[in-house]
Amino acid sequence: MNVNMAGSYITLLLLAATVCGGLEDGTFAKTLRMPGATPEHSEALLCHAVKMEDDPTYIVAYEPHASGEIAHHMMLYGCEEPGSTDEMWNCEETRGGGRVCADGAGQDSRQVVYAWALDAPAFSMPEDVGFRVGGTTQIKYIVLQLHYKNKLPVDTKDNSGVTLHMQRKQPKFQAGFYVLGTWGAIPPHVENYYMETACEYADASPMYPIAYRTHSHSLGVVTSGYRIRGNHQWTEIGRMSPQRPQMFYNATTPGMSVLPGDVLAARCTMTSHRDTVTKIGETNADEMCNFYIMYYTARTDDLTVRWCFQQNYHWEEHFSSIPDKASSLDGIPAADDDVRDHHMHRHD
């Protein structure tokens, strides 16, 4: 099992659980794989659902089984009911396909459980942190969604997926997701075009960012996220080129808190050599500007994903002391080479 675990203690627990079928804390593994998918066209979105346990369980690590040559990205969504009773279904909601979840369309009806792209490696939670599913949560099922790059060759079936390393014992802290992003569009022939968003954090209980993940398509140069305190004190949560593996990276400032009244903000810096406007959307011809925050909290109630999406929003109209590095690749290993090579081959 090729899992890059954060700590040797957790690594030993997961390995022992896989071999022995569980420990005293109820550690076990659950694998979700596409059941022989055969995407019939490029940009296909296919879904497969797996029921979670009736009692609450906690995800402590994610082990992907996918290739960036086949999948543009892979998502795990939590649903009370899946969008179909079929073993596998077309879930291109914006193109007339079925829903991911049966309880409504759009982001409010689904919970983010995991996101993967660009051959990102495995990820594990810190010790004493777990993501709750099943039980009284809204995540009765997890839907595995694969966004395929191309139609597969004849007689080729795909089994991409994720192994969830889980435990039944309730950890000290609960993990959740806060997703920042933008709507809108990118003009043609622009360099360093900013797409920005920000929302006030209103929860009475502090949250503590563990990790972050950026997601854009071909035009993304760098994406950054911040906690803003007092409208002028900026603390970096994370900054990464979305052309690097789109994994969850450790938060830039370990142990930082987000308190009521703080603001969470994100910026995607885009460069377009295209002759037409590029809108926000699902396909490779579109763009996306997402900044995922994985956090932990001492809250014991069931969490739901938090969303902060803006359109035509500009930091400079609301805040002062914007960091100079918010659109910089400084300190991101190999990012300059990756972005340069990517844009040399993607002037479409």
Please state, in angstroms and rounded to a whole number, the distance separating the CA atoms of residues 52 and 82. 12
Please state, in angstroms and rounded to a whole number, the distance separating the CA atoms of residues 202 and 245. 32
Catalytic residue among 48, 147, 165, 270: 147
Concerning whether 345 is annotated as a catalytic residue, the answer is no
Residue whose tokens read 């590095």: 325
| Burial class, 192, CB count within 10 angstroms (exposed 0-12 / middle 13-18 / buried 19+) | exposed
| 215 has binding-site annotation | yes
Catalytic residue among 5, 125, 166, 288: 288
Catalytic residue among 72, 166, 167, 174: 72
Concerning whether 72 is annotated as a catalytic residue, the answer is yes
The HSE-up count of residue 80 (CA atoms within 13 Å, CB side) is: 10
Concerning whether 75 is annotated as a catalytic residue, the answer is no
| 73 has binding-site annotation | yes
Q: Determine how β-strand 173-182 pairs with β-strand 129-133.
A: parallel
Amino acid (one-letter) located at 166: M
Concerning whether 73 is annotated as a catalytic residue, the answer is yes
| 147 has binding-site annotation | yes
Catalytic residue among 217, 240, 243, 310: 217
With residue 337 as reference, give the H or E element that holds it.
helix 335-344
Which string of DSSP letters, residue by residue, matches 262-291?
Answer: -EEEEEEEEEE--SS-EEB-SSTTSB--EE
Catalytic residue among 52, 73, 74, 167: 73
Q: Are 98 and 83 in contact (CB under 8 A)?
A: yes
Catalytic residue among 74, 111, 145, 166: 145
Residue whose tokens read 């900044």: 291
Please state, in angstroms and rounded to a whole number, the distance separating the CA atoms of residues 235 and 285. 33
Tokens of 336: 């300059």
Amino acid (one-letter) located at 276: T
Please state, in angstroms and rounded to a whole number, the distance separating the CA atoms of residues 46 and 90. 5
Question: Of 202, 80, 219, which is closest to residue 138 (Cα–Cα)?
Answer: 80
Catalytic residue among 167, 215, 270, 310: 215
Concerning whether 342 is annotated as a catalytic residue, the answer is no
Concerning whether 74 is annotated as a catalytic residue, the answer is no
Please state, in angstroms and rounded to a whole number, the distance separating the CA atoms of residues 81 and 88. 14
Concerning whether 165 is annotated as a catalytic residue, the answer is no
Strand partners, 82: 101
In Å, the largest CA–CA distance within the chain is 60
Binding site listing for Cu(2+): 72-73, 147, 215, 217, 288
Q: Which residues are catalytic?
A: 72-73, 145, 147, 215, 217, 288
Binding site listing: 72-73, 147, 215, 217, 288
